[in-house]
């Protein structure tokens, strides 16, 4: 396994500077944020463009890979997390077009992996969204497979506020749904999971069982912790879908037993990246605080990753 970080947290820095700092602090890989360069204002944890994939050619792709390799950094994945099942057909078409550009870039750079969401229409049921997935994703997976690229879907429900209520913006949040997604494409190995254990905590899903049962489908791992605010849980209840009581934390500051999680990954033969995803508000506000948080996460994970 290798220790990595998602470049979004340092989105105001050029990619080569992110890589230089990451390498100096013992990180080995970057999941590189690839939102559209013309995307307008950045949103929290989204909208960062560290590689302009829509204007990338083979020469520039090789140049970027070489620059990072000279610093001791490789790329674990190209990351872009939109809503490919968005109900607005114009927005959906834009999202899917950019997602195909990210796939092209991953192929050109020899990365071979794209990390993303399945998406969802928040006003549809799980089964209705699965029907739309069956209509949209087979073609996207064929596009990726033809270019030697796999797709790793993060298991975040994307329901953090009432404008995402009641079904969230990402279908792929639970084991039953993953099984149906894989069955819907006849077990196509092009699609797997970008497993983030923090999203299992507040859903009361057994993390180690997920690793045991879906080990062969885990293509990438996000290292993010989660604190449960017990007062918020008391006041809001579980039917609030986590709103008001789930608090994203850096590894070591929440509920996850990282030693057991990493051990579970090792048992199933996972040998890719454990990638820190920084969404901890206690370590925001300045570049120094963000970096301090990433270093604390490194200190939690580094002794466990071999």
Domain residue ranges in the chain: 2-304
pLDDT band at 306 (very low <50, low <70, confident <90, very high): confident
> Residue 43: what pLDDT?
66
> Residue 42: what pLDDT?
60
pLDDT band at 274 (very low <50, low <70, confident <90, very high): very high
Measure the CA–CA gap between 232 and 114, rounded to whole angstroms. 35
Is this model's pTM higher than 0.85 or not? yes
> Residue 166: what pLDDT?
83
Pairing of β 218-223 and β 225-228:
unpaired
Residue 295 in this model has a pLDDT that exceeds 90: yes
CB 115 within 8 A of CB 194: yes
Model confidence pLDDT, tens digit, residues 161-183: 877 878 889 999 999 999 999 99
SS3 string, the chain, reads CEEEEEHHHHCCCCHHHHHHHHHHCCCCEEEEEECCCCCCCCECCECCECCCHHHCCHHHHHHHHHHHHHCCCEEEEEECCCCCCCCCHHHHHHHHHHHHHHHHHHHHCCCCEEEECCCCCCCCCHHHHHHHHHHHHHHHHHHHHHCCCEEEEECCCCCCCHHHCCCCCCCCCCHHHHHHHHHHCCCCCCEEEEECCHHHHCCCCCHHHHHHHHHHHEEEEEECEEEECHHHHHHHCHHHCCCCCEEEECCCCCCCCHHHHHHHHHHCCCCCEEEECCCCHHHCCCHHHHHHHHHHHHHHHHHHCC
CATH class of 2-304: alpha beta
Residue 203 in this model has a pLDDT that exceeds 90: yes
Residue 256 in this model has a pLDDT that exceeds 70: yes
The pLDDT of 151-159, averaged and rounded, is 96
Model confidence pLDDT, tens digit, residues 35-65: 999 865 566 778 999 999 999 999 999 999 9
The pLDDT of 10-38, averaged and rounded, is 97
The pLDDT of 255-268, averaged and rounded, is 98
Q: 140-165 in b/e burial notation, b at 16+ Cβ within 10 A?
A: bbebbbebebbbbbbbbbbbbeeebe
The pLDDT of 5-34, averaged and rounded, is 98
Average pLDDT, the chain: 96
Residue 238 in this model has a pLDDT that exceeds 80: yes
Model confidence pLDDT, tens digit, residues 85-107: 999 999 999 999 999 999 999 99
> Residue 162: what pLDDT?
78
């Amino acid at each position: 396994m290798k220790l990595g970080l998602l470049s979004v947290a340092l989105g105001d820095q050029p990619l080569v500077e992110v890589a230089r700092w990451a390498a100096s602090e013992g990180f080995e890989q970057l999941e590189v944020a690839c939102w559209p360069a013309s995307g307008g204002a950045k949103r929290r944890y989204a909208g960062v463009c560290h590689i302009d994939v829509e204007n990338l050619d083979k020469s520039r792709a090789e140049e970027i890979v070489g620059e990072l390799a000279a610093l001791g950094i490789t790329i674990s994945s190209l990351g872009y997390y939109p809503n490919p099942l968005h109900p607005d057909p114009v927005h959906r078409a834009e999202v899917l077009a950019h997602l195909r550009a990210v796939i092209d870039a991953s192929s050109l750079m020899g990365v071979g992996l794209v990390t993303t969401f399945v998406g969802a229409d928040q006003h549809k049921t799980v089964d209705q969204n699965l029907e739309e997935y069956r209509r949209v994703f087979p073609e996207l997976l064929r596009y990726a497979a033809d270019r030697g690229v796999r797709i790793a879907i993060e298991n975040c429900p994307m329901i953090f506020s009432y404008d995402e209520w009641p079904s969230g913006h990402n279908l792929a949040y639970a084991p039953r749904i993953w099984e149906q997604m894989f069955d819907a494409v006849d077990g196509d190995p092009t699609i797997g999971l970008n497993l983030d254990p923090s999203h299992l905590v507040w859903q009361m899903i057994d993390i180690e069982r997920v690793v045991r049962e879906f080990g062969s489908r885990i293509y990438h791992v996000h290292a993010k912790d989660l604190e449960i605010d017990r007062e918020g849980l008391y006041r809001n209840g579980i039917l609030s879908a986590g709103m008001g009581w789930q608090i994203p934390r850096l590894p070591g500051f929440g509920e996850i037993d990282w030693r057991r999680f990493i051990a579970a990954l090792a048992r199933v033969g996972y040998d890719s990246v454990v990638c820190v995803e920084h969404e901890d508000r206690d370590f925001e506000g300045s570049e120094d605080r963000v970096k301090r948080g990433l270093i604390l996460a490194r200190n939690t994970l580094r002794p466990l990753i071999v």
